Amino acid sequence: MASKPIHSIPTKDLYARWAKVYDSDGNILQSIDDHFLPSLLTQGFSLVTSSPITITELGAGTGRNTVKLLQPREGVKIETLNALDLSPEMLSLAKSRCSAPSTSTSAPSPKVDFYEFDALQPSLFPEVQALEGKAGLVLSTLVLEHLPLKTFFETAKRLLKPNGVLVMTNMHADMGRLSRAGFTDIDTESGNVKVKVQGDSFVYEIEEVLEVGREEGFEMLGEMLQRGVGEGDVGVTVGERGVKWVGVSVWFGCVMRLGGKEE
């Protein structure tokens, strides 16, 4: 499916370069994620037992979802949003996005704090270690493919309170076997040719995600949502780039709860 040369680079370098077009390059997974996230969040919030809520976003990126959490939602009081990400370039966009004043309401907005963080080297980030055990809900969209499964769930577990809720989405294995997170860039060194730039990526079947989640103390609540691209989606749910994915499962997402003693 890939016709361009592929440049594999460290994930941090990928996002340093991808940041400039991440929000505008027609990535189909973001569109599908946008479509399903509201229902996953509604389910997730219904399971959080304490209020006000602290939310920690693992891999917040350009703040695509962080900014949505700043909007008031009935029956949910979010006190603090912690946006964590490996990439300072992505986080910088998230910061500007979240600092734009909301005109829709006079309701108080949650406090938003941004942290550079590498889930593969958590001990290097003492400010994030100080957030451990504080989140009622951890949100992580389209990040899992960059991390070993155990690391992903261990990180979420450390950040959550007992019985905390994890809302997660990821690239489906059927798509991951054909492609991985990345974007088309111009390689100036080799004569301005188009190249696909990609980082470190893992392909995960849903069953293994659930299994490792269980080993780390997470139980899925409700159903695993899965989505492929249909012909009718192109130009509607996803952009024109979606045409090459027609007939392929591309996305999954679910809500999980961390077991443990009651708060």
Ligand X SMILES: C[S@@+](CC[C@H](N)C(=O)[O-])C[C@H]1O[C@@H](n2cnc3c(N)ncnc32)[C@H](O)[C@@H]1O
Residues that bind ligand X (CB under 6 A): 11, 15, 30, 33, 59-61, 64-65, 85-87, 90, 117-120, 141-143, 146-147, 181
- How many alpha carbons fall within 13 Å on the CB side of residue 27? 21
Is 107 or 158 the residue whose CB approaches ligand X more closely? 158
CB of 173 to ligand X, least distance (A): 16
57 and 175 Cβ atoms separated by less than 8 Å:
no
The gap between the terminal CA atoms of the chain, to the nearest Å, is: 49
Is 8 or 49 the residue whose CB approaches ligand X more closely? 8
- Give the residue from 252, 161, 176 showing the smallest Cα distance to 207: 252
Is 33 or 185 the residue whose CB approaches ligand X more closely? 33
Distance in angstroms (rounded) separating the CA atoms of residues 96 and 7: 29
Alpha-carbon Rg for the chain in angstroms: 18
Is 22 or 45 the residue whose CB approaches ligand X more closely? 22
Distance in angstroms (rounded) separating the CA atoms of residues 161 and 156: 10
The runs of H, that is alpha helices, within the chain are 11-18, 28-47, 66-69, 88-99, 126-129, 149-159, 173-176, 206-215
CB of 32 to ligand X, least distance (A): 11
Is 25 or 187 the residue whose CB approaches ligand X more closely? 25
CB of 208 to ligand X, least distance (A): 19
CB of 252 to ligand X, least distance (A): 14
Residue with the closest Cβ to ligand X? 61
Is 78 or 119 the residue whose CB approaches ligand X more closely? 119
Exposure of 191 by Cβ count < 10 A (0-12 exposed, 13-18 middle, 19+ buried)? exposed
